[in-house]
Structure 1
């Protein structure tokens, strides 16, 4: 546990942890010394001359006072370290997460990361504040008691020494059981949290189809799984804790029986026996307390292991030296191969050139790799083979800040931060003036949204933009990209699933965004495809046809078939509306 905590903390906090442990260990030693002093005190108190106990009373009082002072200092240091630990872990997680590839943030990982940074960090803080010192007591104090026992009766001391490995073995067995249950419970909790967020976020769609909480099968299944894991935790974890407590009590019983036998045959006096048995109680008491702490300690260990797993994730490699920014802004993919796993390649020998200032549309069947192309340009992942260039420079030779400053991305799934409309637009460029923010908003027709809301530009959008419609969120996203003024624009399904009014507004905003810029657009809208300077048709992870709209229709190949299907679907929709 301590070694794992040191690995997660890093070097800068390790020295503080060692000092906290040192103070906790010192308090545990003094506690053991105070317990050991009970033996001569009780021996003399129950002997022929009780007055001989007074010096030992004074020694015990002094030892207890010193122990109290050291224990207080250890507790204060532990609490201060716990508070600093929370801040440090949040900073360390944040610093590491921002260096990870954007593709690392899948839905499952995002939910687990949120739980880890919230509840998980609190569990580690609790371990530092409330578990480290009792843990030291559970091991250091019994060790001191055993050493002291050798000074009084080596046979009873040896019995305690033999009992210690038995208790330690039971403790490890209990810890493994709780650890197994904790891993299963954590996975079930993450799944349930994800399904609850999904259920709350998609209420409009669910209610439109008459789906209630009882009818939402994914949520129901997650809740059933969590309930099953909770029952398993009781069924498996409690026997482990009870088994450890039983082992501790058996050890004490054996010492008690041995002491009684020695007293009966006269090897140990009655006074000594009572004193030694009091010491034996103090031997098992901290170990018994460890049984209560074991569950919390193992859960904290599981959290630390998950934290270590996140911190061990490889960050996005950065160039050793920051080079100059590209002077041109064409985009090239040269012989690119990439797959999300080793079983299937999404792109295989992919070649594409987007000249500076031109618009290239990617079309093709689902799964052909269109979205993957945009993600690789933005370096969500690094390619398995080949090269992606922006302005003639390999994206791997640009720092994340350099690359992101050259790109503006507008995707179908828009996320807005909790805050005002103005705050969300300003996220595109933090140093923008209020007038620049509102000018970008007007170009994207966000002013229409602000005018109808009571607080105008200061209106809160809600977490994820839930206070606005999908089209309104998309307009704010485009305004953000307009404010950024990046020379390369990546658009992925930016106008899909919008109503006619929002589509017209978004199309107007996109026209302002893409003017005189290098644009790569993944689109299914016919007008977007027709107006592109170049159209690349993807299939099987490669560009199988490319040219202008007219050239590809004249070719009579895959694109012509795709276009006719789209025209047919469009005619069907128009007929249905009429």
Structure 2
């Protein structure tokens, strides 16, 4: 377990855990040693040696006090250490996740990350503060008591030692079997977590297309699969746990039987038999608890390995220092190929140059690779082949913070954070003055939105902006991007949810920024496309047309078809 913890914790924390384990071992053996003092106390009581009884009781009292103090010290250190470890694991996990390539998040990882950050991290903390102390005590007591039985009678000691070793071996195998059988239950739990998150996020669609959203089939199936996996785990572990408990009772019965036989044959006195029975009871209770705790420890170790697996996921290589940009706002793609999976190429030999301050329109059918181009510009992924330069510097040579300083994004799927309208705008530049952020809001027509709200700029947008319409969220996102005042503005269908009046305002923003900010926009609106200085038409991951809008109209290619279809659609009318 310590090997997995090395990737989660700092070296000084690993040293603290080692010293804590030493303290646990000392505390456990002191507790076991206190148990051994019951032998002379019991013998003195049975032989009526009351003069020695008082001395042994005094020694026993001192040992109990020392054990209690050690246990208190160990408990306090364990609680403090568990809090530090919990905070460190969750913090490092979060810091690592934000540096992973976005491609890692393309699968269903929400449930896995959620489980690791909560159940896994809490399991590790509980193991340090509660499980390991009890486990080491349960190991120390059988070992020392079997040694003490050797002193009473070597035959009793051999039976106890053999029984302890046999139970430990059996429990170790049972623990491995339980951990192995827990894997399907874990997978079912992760899937259920994903379905619950999906169910909560997609309520609008569920209510639009389902008679009863509570009967959402994927969630129901995930619940059934989780129940089935839990029942299967119970069926496989219950017999093993039962066997573990019965084996301990079997060893205890053998010990008692051997002790009685030795007493009846005269090989063991009654006082020693009574002391032996006290030790045998403590011996068997330690072994009984040991089996259950080893199984729990095995499952916690598996959770730690899952956290370590996330921490071992490779991050995008990070440049060590900031670079001097030769031409801020300039973008260059040089023979870029890209695929999300090995052998699956989405972009093919993409080459183009963007001069600072120009307005570039990306058009093409859905799935052609337009949004992927923007993601490559933001270095959500690295190209498989070729080179992407920003400001004359390869993206891979720019630190993430410097790269993000160059870019502002407004996407079709706007993300707002729980808080006020003002809070969400000021994210673009928290240090901006009130005059500056209000100016950005006016450019994006957010002031008209605020004027209709009773609480004005303090209006709460709700989780994910759920209290606002799609167009309102896009206007706030545009204001946020304008406030950032980055050299490059990326617009991914940023006006898709706007009405005609606000689309016109959006186009005015593009006009005002022309020559000052490099704008790269994906749009299917003809009026917006015509405001571009240069068009890139992408089909099947390749650039098939490029040039000014007027020039592309004469090529009789995709853009010409695009314009004719939009003009024809503009004449459509609804009839009774």
Q: Per the shorter chain, which TM-score range?
A: over 0.9
Alpha carbons 2:537, 2:559 under 8 Å: kept: yes
- Say whether 1:459 aligns with 2:459: yes
Q: Which residue of 1 aligns with 2:139?
A: 139
Q: Which residue of 1 aligns with 2:240?
A: 240
1:185-205 deviation digits (Å, cap 9, x = unpaired): 333333333333333333233
By how many angstroms is 1:162 displaced?
2.0
Residues 304-336 of structure 1: CA distance to partner in whole angstroms, max 9, x if unpaired? 122111211212211233322443321111111
Structure 2 match to 1:520 = 520
30-39 vs 551-560, which moves further: 551-560
Q: Offset of 1:567 from its aligned partner?
A: 4.8
- Give runs of aligned pairs for residues 393-408 of structure 1, distance below 5 A: 393-408=393-408
Could you report, residue by residue, the CA deviation over 1:512-536 in whole angstroms, capped at 9, with x for unpaired residues? Answer: 5666321222222222333322222
Q: Which secondary structure does the structure 2 equivalent of 1:555 belong to?
A: coil
TM-score normalised by the chain length of structure 2: 0.93
- Deviation per CA, 1:314-365: give whole Å up to 9, x if none: 1221123332244332111111122111131112322122222112222223
Q: Is the 8 A contact 1:334 1:387 kept in 2?
A: yes
Cα gap change, 1:485/1:119 in structure 2, threshold over 3 Å: closer, same or farther? same
Aligned-residue offset at 1:483: 0.6
Cα distance change, pair 31–558 in 1 and its aligned pair in 2 (3 A) = same
Q: Mark the CA change 1:272 to 1:566 in structure 2 (over 3 Å): closer, same or farther.
A: farther
Q: CA-to-partner distance for each residue in 1:202-247, whole Å, 9 max, x for gaps?
A: 3233223343233322222222222222222322333333332233
Give the equivalent residue in structure 2 for 1:280: 280
The CA distance in 1 between the partners of 2:520 and 2:44, in whole Å, is 91
Q: Quick one: distance in 2 between partners of 1:524 and 1:2?
A: 55
Residue 507 of structure 2 contacts residue 531 of structure 2 at CA under 8 Å; is this kept in 1? no
CA deviations on 1:93-112 (whole Å, 9 max, x unpaired) are 23222332344334622343
Say whether residues 1:539 and 2:534 are aligned partners.
Answer: no
Q: SS in structure 2 opposite 1:429?
A: coil
Q: Distance in 1 between the 2:33 and 2:154 partners?
A: 17
What is the Cα-based RMSD across aligned positions, in Å?
2.5
Secondary structure of the residue that 1:332 maps to in structure 2? strand
Q: Hey, what does 1:315 align to over in structure 2?
A: 315
Alpha-carbon separation, structure 2, partners of 1:283 and 1:372: 65
Contact 2:5–2:308 (Cα < 8 Å) also in 1: no
Taking a change above 3 Å as real, the CA distance of residues 198 and 70 of structure 1, as seen in their structure-2 partners, is: same
Unaligned ranges ≥5, structure 2:
none
1:509 CA displacement: 5.0
Partner SS for 1:253: helix
Say which is worse superposed, 149-158 or 23-32, in terms of deviation: 149-158
Alignment correspondent of 2:81: 81
Which residue of 562, 573, 576 corresponds with 1:575?
573
TM-score by length of 1: 0.92
What do residues 393-421 of structure 1 show as CA deviations (whole Å, max 9, x unaligned)?
00111100100000011111111112111
Cα 1:577–1:123 change in 2 (3 A) is farther
How many Å separate the matches in 1 of 2:289 and 2:501?
A: 67
Q: Which residue of structure 2 lines up, in the alignment, with residue 385 of structure 1?
A: 385
- Matched ranges for 1:243-258 at <5 A: 243-258=243-258
Deviations 1:448-498 (A, max 9, x none): 222222221112211211121121111111111011000111121222355
> Is 64-73 or 168-177 further displaced after alignment?
168-177
More displaced 10-residue stretch of structure 1: 20-29 or 197-206: 197-206
Shift of 1:41: 2.2
Q: Which stretch of structure 1 is more off in the superposition, 379-388 or 559-568?
A: 559-568
Distance 1:506 1:135 in 2: 66
Q: Is the 8 A contact 1:481 1:513 kept in 2?
A: no
Residues 284-295 of structure 1 aligned to structure 2 (within 5 Å):
284-295=284-295
For 1:12 and 1:98, the matched residues in 2 are separated by 24
Q: 1:471–1:556: structure 2 CA closer, same or farther, 3 Å change rule? A: same
Superposition deviation, residue 6 in structure 1? 4.2
- Asked if 2 retains the 8 angstrom alpha-carbon contact of 1:445 and 1:475, the reply is yes
Counterpart CA distance in 2 for 1:54 and 1:223 is 63
Deviations 1:362-404 (A, max 9, x none): 2223332211111111011112221111011001111001000
Secondary structure in structure 1 of the residue aligned to 2:554: helix
For 1:108, what is the secondary structure of its paired residue?
coil
Return the alpha-carbon distance in structure 1 between the equivalents of residues 510 and 178 of structure 2.
55
Report whether the alignment pairs 1:334 with 2:334: yes
Shift of 1:499: 4.8
The residue that corresponds to 1:557 in the other structure is 557
Deviation at 1:442, TM superposition (A): 1.6
Question: Contact conserved, 2:335 with 2:387, CA < 8 A, in 1?
Answer: yes
Query: Which residue matches 1:437?
Result: 437
2-side partners of 1:513 and 1:253: how far apart?
A: 88
Distance 1:567 1:220 in 2: 47
State whether residues 320 and 399 of structure 2, in contact with CA within 8 Å, keep that contact through their aligned partners in structure 1. Answer: no
Does the CA contact (< 8 Å) of 1:478 and 1:513 recur in 2? no
| 1:9 is the counterpart of 2:9 | yes
Q: Distance in 1 between matches of 2:545 and 2:382?
A: 25
Hey, what's the Cα distance between the residues in 1 that align with 2:30 and 2:464? 55
Instruction: Determine if the alignment matches structure 1 residue 493 to structure 2 residue 486.
Output: no
Take 1:257 and 1:527, find their aligned partners in 2: how far apart are those partners? 96
Partner of 1:160: 160
Aligned residues: 576
Distance 1:366 1:236, change over 3 A: farther
Q: Which residue of 1 aligns with 2:346?
A: 346
Deviation at residue 9 of structure 1 after TM alignment: 1.8
Change over 3 Å in CA distance of 1:552–1:159 after alignment to 2: same
CA distance in 2, matches of 1:276, 1:3: 40
Q: Which residue of 2 aligns with 1:470?
A: 470
Contact 1:241 1:294 in 2 (8 A): no
Describe the shift of the 1:500–1:242 C-alpha distance in structure 2 as closer, same or farther (beyond 3 A): farther
Task: Check conservation: 2:203, 2:213, Cα contact below 8 A.
Answer: no
Deviation at 1:7, TM superposition (A): 3.9
Cα contact 2:445–2:502 (8 A) shared by 1: no
Compute the displacement of 1:540 (Å): 3.2
Point out the more displaced range, 441-450 or 259-268.
259-268
Deviation digits for residues 242-299 of structure 1, max 9, x if unmatched?
Answer: 3322332233233333333333332222221221232122223223223443454334
Tell me the CA shift for residue 437 of structure 1: 1.9
